[in-house]
Every structure is written in C-alpha cells, then in structure tokens.
Amino acid sequence: MPRKAKHHGPESSGPAMSKHLVDLDDDALDAARAQLGTKTIKETVNEALRQVSRGRSKMVSQAIDVLVHAKLEDRNRAWR
C-alpha cells in the first residue's frame, strides 16, 4: 500500500500525521471512545494506536531481555 504524504500535527514538533479514508466499525469506535475517554474520532484512533504501539514496544523489550539472559550455550549442545 502506498504511503500517504505526511504533515505535522497542530504543534510544530508534533508527530508526523497522514490522512486516510477508512471505514470504521461504529460500535467498536464507541466502545473505544468510552474506554479511552476521548471525544473525537481522530483522538480515539490516535490514542488507541499509541496504546497498542506502546504495548508492542514493551513486548519487544521484554523479549530482548529474555534473550539477553538466556543461557545460549545450552542450545549449542542441542544441535550436536
């Protein structure tokens, strides 16, 4: 899918933004808005995306920590 042209949000140092035309599940949007305490569609979608991406970053960080502490020499013996 081609990337959309990006612009910055209202604050000059804000995140890069792009416009997309998407169909949204109204019930899911209403539930997300209630859960997140947001008022607009844009605010709801952006907050939901931020929360998911923070969760993913945390999962990746935890996975890296597991690898850092793994006893990899045990795996070497498994392949012999």
Asked if 77 and 71 count as a contact pair (C-beta separation under 8 A), the reply is no
Calculate mean pLDDT across residues 63-79.
Answer: 73
More confident residue, 76 or 22: 22
Determine the pLDDT at residue 21.
Answer: 94
- Separation between Cα atoms, residue 67 and residue 31, nearest integer Å: 37
Question: Residue 60 carries which side chain, given as an amino acid letter?
Answer: V
Beta strands in the chain (DSSP E): 6-8, 16-18
Determine the pLDDT at residue 33.
Answer: 97
Could you state, in order of their start, the residue ranges of all structural domains in the chain? 25-78
The 10s digit of each residue's pLDDT in 53-69 is 887 778 888 888 888 88
What pairs with residue 7 in β-bridges?
17
Rounded to the nearest integer, the mean pLDDT of the chain is 81
Asked if 3 and 18 count as a contact pair (C-beta separation under 8 A), the reply is yes
pLDDT band at 20 (very low <50, low <70, confident <90, very high): very high
